[in-house]
Every structure is written in C-alpha cells, then in structure tokens.
Chain A
Amino acid sequence: MNQILFGVIATLGVLAALGTVLARNLVHAALFLVAFFFLVACQFVMLEAEFLAAVQVLVYIGAVAIILMFGIMLTRNIQGDDTTTVSKAGFISGGLAAAGLLAVLVFGILDDEGRTGRAGWRDVTTRPAVYPVAARASAEQTKAVNNMGFVVGRELLTRYLIPFEVAGVLLTAALVGAIALAVQDGPSTDDPAERAKKAAEHTAAAETEPQLTSA
C-alpha cells in the first residue's frame, strides 16, 4: 500500500518536474512547479515529516511560487520567442549531461556498500520503528517524529540558536538587497507637481504606443 502510494507520488512528481523544465509557456511551467512542490510535500508526509510538509506548502507554494509568478508577469517574454525556445544542439548536449549524471547517481546509490558496521543503502528496506518506543529508538526520536513542531521549536532556541540568528540576518540582508535592487534610479517623485508631470508623460507614451505597433 505504502509502496503503491510512493509509486504514484513519485511518477507524478517526475512528470511535474519534467513539465516545469520543458513547458514553453512560462506560466504553465510555474503551475507545474506548484504541482511539483505539492508532491514533494506529499513525499515529506510519506517520510513522516508532516511539519516539514506544512512548511513546504507555506513557503514554497505560498511565497516562492508567487514571487516567480510576479517575475513572469513583470518580464514580457512569456511565450514563443527566443528566450523560451530550446535549441536542438543545446537540448541534446544538456540531455546527455543530465542522463550521464543520472546514471552515475543511480549506480552509486545501488552500489553502496555502507561504512564498516553499517548496512549499505540498498539493504535499508525498513525505517526504524518509533511508536511505541522501539528497541533502538530513543524517546527523543519518537517525540521528534510524532511531535516534530515542538521539538524543532525547542531545538531552534537551544542547540541551533546561532544558525537561527544567522538565518535571520541573512533574510534581513536579502530583504534589503532585493529592495535596493528594485529601486528605480532617477529623481524622487515626492513632489506632487513632478508626479503629475510623470503621469502625463506616461499616458502620452501609452497613447503613442498603438501607433508604433501598427506602423
């Protein structure tokens, strides 16, 4: 049952990823990407990390995909022109590189011998049982799987306090950086008269644009 479910989710996930990469229309690609994020969240549920699945949906689908949508809307080249089409030679060489990497990775995964005293990856067919507290699992691990939000919050403020603070600084820097990049050069438009002038220029430009395209 679990295996069938995994097969369905994995197949859909690979198809969604392929759709993201190969779709000509960027909006379609972004929608495929949302589907892929959701299927990755499903995989987290299969791995009993429900808290991470919630974080995945909130951060990736709620924030990252929307930012990407805004980026697509603010740049014009959505469909059909040079920037979205893929040249045949580039596709073949890129596909060869990707297929080669996939072969190496799959060979490495299936051929793993494991460190001394440990089973290789291919021999790990069952996850360690945690509920009820099993022989090898500690009470801590059981709690980490069954009540992950609690344990993550506690660990973030004790063992992972420094990385947590550094991540906060990084997010602040990214916020300031994104604003600094997006700021338009040119004179300030705080003056109402100047703003009205700019708006008039803008409408004038918009009126002349149809003539330009029809000519």
Chain B
Amino acid sequence: MHDIPLTWFLIFASACFVIGLLGVLVRRNAIAVLMAIEIMLNAANINIIAFWRYSVPGPEESPVSGPMLAIFVITIAAAEVAVGIGLILLCYRRRASADVDQYDSLSG
C-alpha cells in the first residue's frame, strides 16, 4: 500500500486556495465573497495539517503544534464570519444591496 506524497496535499490545498481567490475577485455579492474567504482559510488549514503529519517534531516542540495552529485558525474564522455577517447586514440595511461594488464610500 503506497502512502500519499506530501505534494499531493499541497497541490490540492493550493488549488482550493486559488479557487477561493477567484471567488473573492469575481463575485460581487458580499456573502459570496465571505464564502470564498472561508475556502481560502480551509486550504491553509490542510497545508498546516499536512506539514505537521509529514514531519517529526523536535524534542522541545509541542507534538500537536500543527493541529493547535489549525484550531486557532478555525476560532478566528468563526469570529470573522460572525462580525462579517453583521457588517454585511448593516450595509444591506443602509444601501438595500449586498453588492461589494457599491460599498465605495471610503474610496477617493
């Protein structure tokens, strides 16, 4: 039984990251942009866990450094979605639209 090469996980993660980037660039609905950002965060998590599993931690290092980092990424993502949805709903109430192209009052 052959094991999976590390690069397969890395390439899968980069493909997912690039798809998320595409979504951030081409979608105009703010909630769709938020979903694409979630895809990018998940791709980063796959990378972290793949590197953790395919390496041996040093004697002074934590044996679960990779999963710990991934858990904190998940925490931040959850907080980010809660605040992001609140912001989008607020902008939607002000402008009656969830279109990111119309949220341009900060541009010069």
Bound pair (A, B): yes
Please report A residues at the B interface, Cβ cutoff 8 Å. 1-3, 6, 10, 13-14, 17-18, 20-21, 26, 29-30, 33, 36-37, 40, 43-44, 46-49, 51-52, 55-56, 59-60, 63-64, 67-68, 70-72, 74-75, 77, 82-86, 90-91, 93-95, 97-99, 101-102, 105-106, 109-110, 121-122, 124-128, 136-138, 140-141, 143-145, 148, 151-152, 155-156, 159-160, 163, 167, 170-171, 173-175, 177-178, 181-182
* Contact (Cβ within 8 A) B9 A43: yes
Given contacts A64-B78, A182-B86, contact A155 B68 (CB under 8 A): yes
* Contact (Cβ within 8 A) B22 A21: yes
Q: A60 to chain B: closest CB distance in Å? A: 7
* Contact (Cβ within 8 A) B19 A138: no
A36 to B79, CA, bound (A): 20
A138 to B52, CA, bound (A): 14
Q: Return the chain B residue nearest A101 by Cβ.
A: B18
What is the size, in residues, of chain B's interface with A at 8 Å between Cβ atoms? 75
Q: Return the chain A residue nearest B100 by Cβ.
A: A83
* Contact (Cβ within 8 A) A170 B7: no
Contact with A along B1-21 (1 / 0, CB 8 A): 111111111111011111111
* Contact (Cβ within 8 A) A177 B83: yes
* Contact (Cβ within 8 A) A21 B27: yes
Q: Return the chain B residue nearest A174 by Cβ.
A: B79
Please report B residues at the A interface, Cβ cutoff 8 Å. 1-12, 14-23, 25-29, 31-32, 34-36, 38-39, 42, 45-46, 49-50, 52-57, 59, 62-64, 66-68, 70-72, 74-83, 85-90, 92, 97-99
Given contacts A3-B4, A105-B18, A174-B82, contact A137 B27 (CB under 8 A): no
Partner of B46, one of A40, A174, A177: A40
Given contacts A77-B97, A83-B98, A105-B18, contact A125 B27 (CB under 8 A): no
A77 to B75, CA, bound (A): 29
* Contact (Cβ within 8 A) A128 B55: yes
User: Would you mind naming 7 contact pairs between A and B with Cβ atoms under 8 Å apart?
Assistant: A21-B23, A71-B31, A83-B29, A98-B19, A148-B67, A152-B71, A182-B89
Partner of A143, one of B63, B85, B87: B63
* Contact (Cβ within 8 A) A68 B35: yes
Given contacts A2-B1, A71-B89, contact A140 B63 (CB under 8 A): yes
Partner of B5, one of A125, A128, A136, A175: A125
